[in-house]
Amino acid sequence: MSNSSFERPDRIQFEDADYDFSTLAIRAGQQRTDEGEHNDPIYPTSSFVYSSAREAAARFSGDEEGNIYSRFTNPTVIAFEKRMAALEGGDRAVATSSGMAAILSTCIALLQQGDHVVCSQSVFGSTISLFEKYLSRTGISVTFVDPTQVSAWQAAVTPKTRMFFMETPSNPLSELTDIEAVSTLAHSHDALLVVDNCFCTPALQQPLTQGADIVIHSATKYLDGQGRCVGGVVVGRDAEMEEVFGFIRTGGACLSPFNAWVFMKGLETLELRMKAHSASALELAQWLQQQTGIATVHYSGLVEHPQHELAKKQQSAFGGVLSFEVEGDQAAAWRFIDATKMISITGNLGDVKSTITHPYTTTHGRMTEQAKADAGIKQTLIRVSVGLESVADIKADLLLGLAAI
Ligand SMILES: *Cc1c(COP(=O)(O)O)cnc(C)c1O
CA dihedral 277→258→357→375, nearest 10 degrees, is -90
Q: Find the mean pLDDT for residues 227-239.
A: 97
Q: Which atom of ligand 1 sits closest to the CA of residue 232? A: 7
Classify burial at 176, counting beta carbons within 10 Å of its beta carbon; exposed 0-12, middle 13-18, buried 19 or more.
buried
> Percent of the chain, pLDDT > 70?
96
Rounded to an integer, the average pLDDT of 70-77 is: 96
CA 5 vs CA 1, 8, 13, 103: distances in Å: 11, 10, 21, 49
CB of 142 within 8 A of CB of 103? Answer: no
Q: Greater confidence, 127 or 367?
A: 127
Q: Whose CA is nearest to atom 2 of ligand 1?
A: 218
Ligand 1 close to Cβ of residue 385 (< 6 A): no
Q: Is 256 in the pocket of ligand 1 (CB under 6 A)?
A: no
Q: Between these two residues, 384 and 368, which has the higher pLDDT value? A: 384
Give residue-wise pLDDT tens across range 114-123.
999 999 999 9
Phi, psi (degrees; rounded to nearest 5) at 232: -155, 175
Quick check: CB of 14 below 6 Å from ligand 1? Answer: no
* Residues 6 or more apart whose Cβ sits within 8 Å of residue 392: none
Lowest average pLDDT, out of 6-15, 336-345, 395-404, goes to: 6-15
Pairing of strands 381-385, 355-357: antiparallel
pLDDT computed for residue 366 by the predictor: 83
Q: Is the CB of 300 under 6 A from ligand 1?
A: no
Indicate whether residue 350 lines ligand 1 (CB < 6 A).
Answer: no
Residue 224 Cβ inside 6 Å of ligand 1? The answer reads no
Tens digit of pLDDT for each residue in 258-310? 999 999 999 999 999 999 999 999 999 999 999 999 999 999 999 999 999 99
* DSSP string over 140-180: -EEEEE-TT-HHHHHHH--TTEEEEEEESS-TTT-----HH
Reported as a pLDDT band with limits 50, 70 and 90, residue 125 is confident
**Cβ neighbours, 10 Å, residue 41:** 15
DSSP state of 254: P
The share of the chain scoring above pLDDT 90, in percent, equals 91
For the stretch 23-52, pLDDT in tens is 999 999 998 899 999 999 999 999 999 999
Q: What mean pLDDT do residues 361-372 have?
A: 88
Rounded Cα distance between 178 and 202, Å, is 16
CA distance 35 to 220: 31
Kindly write down the DSSP assignment for every residue of 11-76, as one continuous string.
S--TTTS---HHHHHHHTT----TT--SSPP----SB---SSHHHHHHHHHTSS----BTTT--HH
Give the Cα separation of 385 and 284 in Å (integer).
11
Kindly tell me the burial class for residue 56, based on how many C-beta atoms sit within 10 Å of its own C-beta (0-12, 13-18, 19 or more).
middle
Q: Return d(Cα 132, Cα 352) in angstroms, integer.
A: 33
CB 174 less than 6 A from any atom of ligand 1: no
pLDDT category of residue 16 using cuts at 50, 70 and 90 = low
Ligand 1: atom nearest CA of 199 is 13
Max CA pair span of the chain:
75
Tell me the pLDDT of the chain averaged across its residues: 94
pLDDT, position 3:
40
Q: What is the mean pLDDT of residues 56-64?
A: 94
Q: What is the pLDDT of residue 2?
A: 40
Mutate to test the pocket of ligand 1, among 100, 128, 224, 262 (most ligand atoms within 8 A of CB): 100
pLDDT at 4 over 80: no
* Helices and strands in the chain, H and E counts: 15, 12
Higher pLDDT, 158 or 347: 158
The total number of residues shown for the chain amounts to 405
Report the alpha-carbon distance of residue 77 to residue 246 in Å, rounded. 15
pLDDT grade, residue 15 (50/70/90)?
low
DSSP 8-state secondary structure symbol assigned to residue 9: -
169 ligand 1 Cβ < 6 A: no
60 CA → ligand 1 middle, Å: 34
pLDDT band at residue 7 using 50, 70 and 90 as cut-offs: low
pLDDT band at 1 (very low <50, low <70, confident <90, very high): very low
pLDDT (mean) for 140-155: 97
Q: How far apart are CA 276 and CA 386, in angstroms?
A: 10
Question: Residue 58 to residues 62, 68, 70, 73, 376: CA-CA distances in angstroms?
Answer: 6, 11, 17, 16, 57
> Could you tell me which of 139, 140, 168, 138 has the C-alpha nearest to residue 153?
168
**pLDDT of res. 158:** 98
Which segments of 158-254 does DSSP mark as H helices, in order? 179-188, 201-204, 238-251
How high is the pLDDT of residue 182?
Answer: 98
Domains in the chain with CATH codes: 14-267 (3.40.640.10), 270-404 (3.90.1150.10)
The answer to whether residue 217 scores a pLDDT higher than 80 is yes
Residue 403 vs residues 32, 326, 342, 363: alpha-carbon distances, Å: 55, 12, 15, 25
Interval 63-90 mean pLDDT:
96
pLDDT confidence of residue 201? 98
Q: Say which residues have a Cβ less than 8 Å from residue 91's Cβ, sequence separation at least 6.
A: 85, 236, 237, 238, 241
Q: Are 261 and 224 a contacting pair, CB within 8 Å?
A: no
Q: What is the pLDDT of residue 132?
A: 94
pLDDT classification of 371: cutoffs 50, 70, 90: confident
Average pLDDT on 184-198 reads 98
